[in-house]
Amino acid sequence: MPPGHYPVSHLIAVFAMPEPTLEFVNCPDAQGGHRMAYWQWGQLDSDHVVLCVHGLTRQGRDFDVLAQALCQQAAIAGHSLRVVCPDVVGRGQSDWLKDPIGYQIPYYAADMLALLQQLQPTTLDWLGTSMGGLIGMAVAGLPNAPALAKVRRLVLNDVGPVIEWQALERIGQYLGNTGVFDTEQQAADAMWVTSSTFGPHTPAQWLALCRPMLKPLGDGSGRLTLHYDPALAEPFKAVTPESAAQGEALLWQAYDRIRAQTLLIRGAESDLLSLETAHTMTQRGPQARLLEFASVGHAPTFVADSQVHVVLSFLLD
């Protein structure tokens, strides 16, 4: 069986890896700065970095399965690789901002530049899910990007310059409601209500994705809550159709400047990335190659073998 076609479960079983290392980078802001956490897999001295950036309310541990598969496939090929999965500020192990106005794409992109300054890659690939893809477009589309921020290959996971308004309205209905749960399973069941569009997962896979999303409530009760700052909702809820259109124009400008080889992944049932927008992205800018996953909406999680192998083939060929 060719190396690129090993089942992900086989790769993980044969090339078992320890837990990722947790590191921090100091990022400037108008309130004195904040720390952004990031998880590292693979060879920590490698100058080939794959940066995996999560969606709106998620965190870097979303990519555990994909990160392990990337590192293990690179090891089979004798290639040095480091996979870095940040917790975007306000999520996971990262600080919460004093001023929620900073929970926006341009500020996130600035944090990623600070991270890259710390990592010092000579080869940079980027995979971004939803919000992480928007941040990736902002960085990859910088007109005068420093060498360490020049993206070689870019995977945009179910996102483009045009965000469908009905999807924003759907997300706005739950964003900021971090909930209170008695058990991990209760929390996982609640998250499934808003995230079933991620597509089919086994109960074990879904629970594994949910665990890093939780933290103790902090009242000594043993109850749990979601691990993000509820104030993320403040700038999000301030978005209007008019401001969204202005942001769309800026994102198209960034997209058209991208020179990275680009793979656009779309959940076939996505309400956030329309098929029309996806096709337009194949015709302009980096002329992305489009691939759709059936029975998935917004957004694929790269837990299923078929999804993981698409990324392995694109980034490690």
**Phi, then psi, of 304 in degrees rounded to 5:** -65, 145
**Strands 34-42 and 21-27: what pairing?**
antiparallel
Residue 69 pLDDT grade (very low, low, confident, very high; cuts 50, 70, 90):
very high
Q: What is the pLDDT of residues 137-184, one digit of tens each?
A: 999 999 999 999 999 999 999 999 999 999 999 999 999 999 999 999
Of 302, 258, 272, nearest to 130 by C-alpha is: 272
Q: How many CB atoms neighbour CB 99 within 10 A? A: 12
Q: How far apart are CA 288 and CA 130, in angstroms?
A: 16
Report the first-to-last Cα separation within the chain, whole angstroms: 16
Q: How far apart are CA 81 and CA 260, in angstroms?
A: 19
Contact call for residues 189 and 56 (beta carbons, < 8 A):
no
Contact call for residues 161 and 105 (beta carbons, < 8 A):
no
Q: Which neighbouring-strand residues pair with 84?
A: 40, 51
Q: How far apart are CA 114 and CA 50, in angstroms?
A: 16
Q: What is the DSSP letter of 181?
A: B
Residue 51 pLDDT grade (very low, low, confident, very high; cuts 50, 70, 90):
very high
pLDDT of res. 317: 81
Helix/strand/coil (H, E, C) string of 110-133? HHHHHHHHHHCCCEEEEEEECHHH
Of 134, 266, 281, nearest to 199 by C-alpha is: 266
Q: How many CB atoms neighbour CB 295 within 10 A? A: 10
Task: Give Rg (Cα) of the chain.
Answer: 18
Of 132, 128, 59, nearest to 94 by C-alpha is: 59
What would the two tokens of residue 233 be? 């909702």
Strands (E), 66-122: 82-87
Q: What is the pLDDT of residues 252-308, one digit of tens each?
A: 999 999 999 999 999 999 999 999 999 999 999 999 999 999 999 999 999 999 999
Q: What is the pTM of this model?
A: 0.94
Judged against a pLDDT cut of 80, whether residue 128 lies above it is answered with yes
CATH class of domain segment(s) 3-168+246-316 = alpha beta
Percent of the chain with pLDDT over 70: 95
Q: How far apart are CA 310 and CA 263, in angstroms?
A: 10
pLDDT of res. 7: 64
Helix or strand run (H / E) with residue 250: helix 241-257
Q: Amino acid identity of 224?
A: L
Is the omega angle on the peptide bond into residue 299 within 30 degrees of 0, that is, cis?
yes
What would the two tokens of residue 299 be? 């957004």
Q: Amino acid identity of 110?
A: A
| C-alpha dihedral sign at 293, 298, 299, 300 | negative
